[in-house]
Amino acid sequence: MSGCNTTAPEVLKPLPTTQTFTDSSGRSVELPLEVTRIAASGSMAQMFLFALCPEYLVGLASPWSQEAEKYIQTEYYKLPVLGQFYGTGTLNMEEVVKTAPQVIIDVGEAKKSIVEDMDSIMKQVNIPTIHIEATTETTADAYRLLGKLLNREEKAEKLASYIEKTLQQVNKTVSTVEKSSVLYLLGNNGLNVLAKTSFHAEVIDHVSNNAAIIEQPSFKGSGNEVDFEQLLLWDADVLLVAPDSIYDEIIQDASWQQLRAVQNGQLYRVPSGPYNWITNPPSVNIYLGMLWLTDLLYPENVEYDLFKEVTEYYRLFYGHELTLEEFTSLTAHP
């Protein structure tokens, strides 16, 4: 008679449903194993994440501009606006909770208070909150990191490769030329500038000599206020103005003709659609700005085709097939 089988049945351990993620500030945060619902902490994170996983966004940090409607699919254009933590400080915690994200993601340069800031948001809404550092030189790696976390590795690699290619092309050009001096003018009267080393002046600093050297650069998008006499002293080779700003006033006002750039026809509007290509805010749009400004300043030295590079950007980052007509309209010099 055979003995009874007394072996206890194997107990299957439940599969894990969470993962521990270490963000760029060194914080260890427990996240769902599969993340499909994300809230962006601000406009920079929104732009960054929209390129990687637009279908995961539960809301917008800031509404799209009216001009963005032609580039952005309707379902993303009409997402609820949740506000932003930094900048305007309008992040609506109640609305964030209503949209039920699995994680709130902050992207960009780390503030000195980043650990406290991320912990504060997480405590208020009881939703995991992480920071991903993304500077001009590290954005490609930031995409790879988030691609792995969000199971979007293939798309992340395409975005990262585009960024690395762009930096390589731009750096190759600007390393061989005598850089032009440039001023970016803002404000209703054109007397605000993006100062050298300002967070918002990254593109200008990278590809040109930013003439706006100021002892205490403002890190706000509105820049530093100066007087007209200071503009005359700087007398930059090239002047840039924001879209829908004072271009026409500068052309028509005789006093501005004292500036060498205006005399020489070197006044340009920065392209915009769906975002300003240089700043406001400076997120992944800066790579468009680098391509455009390098081509504008050093056309005989660039080895890339601007139309080809810009259309590839719009395809990868916005999911939009840019036409030649749209490109021409975006980059037209009045």
pLDDT of residue 281: 84
Distances (CA, A) of 278 to 3, 27, 52, 77, 253: 80, 31, 20, 22, 26
Three-point CA angle 186, 193, 254, nearest 5°: 65
Average pLDDT over residues 169-190: 96
Ranges of CATH 3.40.50.1980 domains, the chain: 18-155, 173-331
pLDDT of residue 2: 52
Residue 262: pLDDT over 80: yes
pLDDT of residue 280: 85
Average pLDDT over residues 161-178: 98
Pick from 14-18, 62-66, 271-275: least confident: 14-18
Residue 152: pLDDT over 80: yes
Burial of 263 (0-12, 13-18, 19+ CB in 10 A): exposed
pLDDT of residue 169: 98
Residue 55: pLDDT over 80: yes
Q: Which residues pair with residue 18 across a beta bridge?
A: 32
pLDDT of residue 7: 62
CA atoms within 13 A on the CB side of 227: 1
pLDDT of residue 35: 96
Beta strands in 218-329 (DSSP E): 224-225, 238-241, 267-269
173-331 folds as Rossmann fold (3.40.50)
CA distance 192 to 179: 22
Average pLDDT over residues 130-139: 94
pLDDT of residue 194: 96
- DSSP 8-state assignment for residue 317: I
pLDDT of residue 134: 94
CA distance 291 to 317: 15
CA distance 316 to 323: 14
The tens digit of pLDDT for each residue in 65-124 reads 888 889 998 899 889 999 999 877 789 999 999 999 999 999 998 889 999 999 999 999
**Global pTM value:** 0.92
Q: Domain 18-155, CATH 3.40.50.1980 — does that match?
A: yes
Sequence letter at residue 311: T
